[in-house]
Amino acid sequence: MPIHKEHKEFHTIDLSTGWETPPGYPEGIKQQILAGSLDEKNKTGSRTRHLRFDAGVYTTAPFVHDYWEEVYLLSGDLTVGNDVNGNGGTSFAPGTYACRPPGAYHGPFKSEKGCMLLEIHYYDESNKAA
């Protein structure tokens, strides 16, 4: 089954609405879905989203999931690899990018001043059995 998203022409994104905390994330991290959807139960779909960290927010454990993830840091600062108290890690600036295959451990993450990411998540449906 191919990956489908709705047809959307250029339009202004309202950054003041449509934000929600994703399941399993701490308060202070919010997503805004831009297109598509991801069905993790049936392992299908594709979504594009903004992910926003408030200043000082951090996660405490690495993430791992069974879909591809591409991440581009649009604004702010993002630290990767902090400890459970939010200390340490490597800081990245806007203009940095990551592409992670299914099963790749990544994080934890924090942002000192806040940040916004553009993320694309998708299942590699070409590898599924017919």
φ and ψ at 78, to 5 degrees? -135, 125
pLDDT of residue 2: 52
List of domains in the chain: 29-125 (2.60.120.10)
CA–CA distance, 130 with 122 (Å, rounded to integer):
18
pLDDT of residue 127: 59
CA–CA distance, 35 with 3 (Å, rounded to integer):
12
Q: How many CB atoms lie within 10 A of CB 30?
A: 19
Query: pLDDT band at residue 3, thresholds of 50, 70 and 90?
Result: low
Longest dimension (CA), the chain: 47
Across 42-46, 113-117, 121-125, least confident range: 121-125
Query: pLDDT band at residue 22, thresholds of 50, 70 and 90?
Result: very high
pLDDT of residue 104: 97
Can you list the positions of beta strands (E) in the chain?
29-39, 44-53, 68-76, 78-80, 90-92, 97-100, 109-110, 115-122
